[in-house]
Amino acid sequence: MFSLIISILALGFIILFHELGHFLMAKRFGVGVVEFSLGMGPRLWSVVKGETRYSLRVLPFGGSCMMVGEDPEENGIPEGDFRQPEKMEVSPAEAAGEEPESAGAAEESEGILLDGRFFPKGKAFTEKPAWQRFCIIAAGPVFNFILALLLSLVITQQAGYDPAVILAAEEGVPAAESGVAEGDTVLSINGDKVTVYRDVQLYLLTHQREMAEGMPISLALRTQEGTEKTAVIQPVYMEDTGSYRMGIYFSAGYRPVESLGELLKYGWYNVEFCVKTTVASLEMLVQGKVQRDDVMGPVRMVATMDDTVAAAASYGLWTTVMSLMDLIVLISASLGAMNLLPLPALDGGQLLFILIEMVRRRPVSPELVGRINMAGMMLLLMLMVLVMFNDFSIILG
Task: Give me the residue spans of the domains in the chain.
Answer: 30-127, 129-160+258-397, 162-253
**314 within 8 A of 307, measured Cβ to Cβ:** no
pLDDT above 50 (res 95): no
Distances (CA, A) of 166 to 84, 196, 204, 223: 65, 12, 16, 10
Where is pLDDT greater, at 310 or 347? 347
**What is the pLDDT at residue 97?**
46
List of residues 6+ apart from 95 with CB closer than 8 A = 88
**What is the pLDDT at residue 301?**
62
pLDDT band per the 50, 70, 90 thresholds, residue 377 = confident
**What is the pLDDT at residue 128?**
93
**Digit-coded pLDDT (tens) for 125-156:** 989 999 999 999 999 999 999 999 999 999 99
Q: What average pLDDT does the chain have? A: 81
For the chain, percent of residues with pLDDT exceeding 70 = 79
Rounded Cα distance, 359 and 353, in Å: 10
Number of neighbours of residue 284 by Cβ within 10 angstroms? 16
The pTM score is: 0.79
pLDDT band per the 50, 70, 90 thresholds, residue 102 = very low
In this prediction, residues 222-239 reach a mean pLDDT of: 88
Domain 162-253 belongs to what topology?
Pdz3 Domain (2.30.42)
> Lowest-confidence range among 225-234, 246-255, 259-268, 327-336?
246-255
Rounded Cα distance, 120 and 315, in Å: 56
Rounded Cα distance, 307 and 310, in Å: 5
Instruction: Give one DSSP letter per residue of 102-151, joined into a string.
Output: -HHHHHHT-EEEETTEEEETT-SGGGS-HHHHHHHHHHHHHHHHHHHHHH
Burial class (CB in 10 A: 0-12, 13-18, 19+), 214: exposed
Q: Indicate the residue type of 237.
A: Y
**What is the pLDDT at residue 397?**
60
In this prediction, residues 91-118 reach a mean pLDDT of: 58
Q: Give strand pairing partners of 328.
A: none
Rounded Cα distance, 61 and 67, in Å: 20
The residue among 54, 31, 23 whose CA lies nearest residue 119 is 31
Secondary element (H or E) of residue 86? strand 86-88
pLDDT above 60 (res 106): no
